[in-house]
Amino acid sequence: MNSNQKLSDTNNPSKVYALFYSFFLIPLMIAIFGSLFFFLFKMLTYEKEDPYHLLNNIKSGSLTKRWQSAYELSNLMRDTEKIPDDQLFTNQMITMYKKSIHDDPRIRTYLALAMGQTGNILFGDVLLEGLKDQSLENRIAAIKSLGSIKYDFSASILNQIVNSNVDNQERLAAIIALGEIKNPNSLDVLVNALDDEEANIRWDAAMSLTKLNSNRGFYILEKLLRREYYLNYPNVDSIEINNTILTILALISDKPNNIFKDEILILSEKEKNIKIREFSMQILSEHY
């Protein structure tokens, strides 16, 4: 192609517009329409995540939709500002929970957890019914939620569960729940659990006793403040160890006792985890 041909091409408006359409305008239009399509699709498929909408999904949605909505509801109830305070919501939750006995067990599990998140004591009686479920997961969810709403009338039944031969996961959930409920009639049950052969049972029994203002489990908590103690339990990872130590420090932060002083001092000086070290220093400065 000679120089004259090149000049004629650049001066040819039709070819210039063809290049403009091919390499700029058409791709731009495709991108714009693609974005509009995506936006419209999101608008059409968007579901407002409010409690009543999720309850409606649990009531009339497909199987997958029902258990996923129950899961979303249990998460939504963690935000106290989104928990309805009207009787209609409470009644619908109770109705849905009762009907879920014949549905996918996951729905009943997440509904129980959602009720616990509300802290509403009116869910107590229906959660007690959940303790009779065949599903272990359902029973554990009901136990956890009875503790979360601090349902005092469940303490005697939870005491029986701790003393029974049921699965240790269920017993452990009951021990933790008793620590939340703080019924003094559970003291002897928790003290007996300090000698249980299962480590987690002993540890959480000691924590629950502390919540009931008993020092009977202090000797176990003192051990749990030592990192070397966990060498006896190789299945416990570093994250769990950190969380356990922080939990114990929180429990004893307003309960000064010389049994903890040496361990707290060591943590304040040698602990590598910054949160644990700072918390230990704070407790020392305030109580020792």
3-state secondary structure of 189: helix
* Other Cβ atoms closer than 10 A to 97: 23
Angle at 160 between CA 154 and CA 164, to 5 degrees: 145
The predicted pLDDT at position 38 comes to 53
The predicted pLDDT at position 33 comes to 59
- What the chain holds in terms of domains, given with CATH numbers, is 50-149 (1.25.10), 218-288 (no CATH)
The predicted pLDDT at position 43 comes to 44
Please list, residue by residue across 238-255, b when 16 or more beta carbons sit within 10 angstroms of its beta carbon and e when fewer do: eeebbebbeebbebbbee
Name the DSSP letter for residue 22: I
What amino acid occupies position 207? M
Q: Which residues of the chain have pLDDT under 50?
A: 1-10, 16, 19-20, 41-47
Secondary structure (DSSP) of 61-81 = S-HHHHHHHHHHHHHHTTSGG
The predicted pLDDT at position 42 comes to 45
The predicted pLDDT at position 76 comes to 93
**Alpha-carbon distance 144 to 174, whole Å?**
7
Which candidate, 274, 269, 217, 285, places its Cα nearest to that of 246?
274
The predicted pLDDT at position 50 comes to 86
Total length of the chain:
288
Say which residue the tokens 């909408």 belong to: 53
What global pTM score does this model have? 0.82
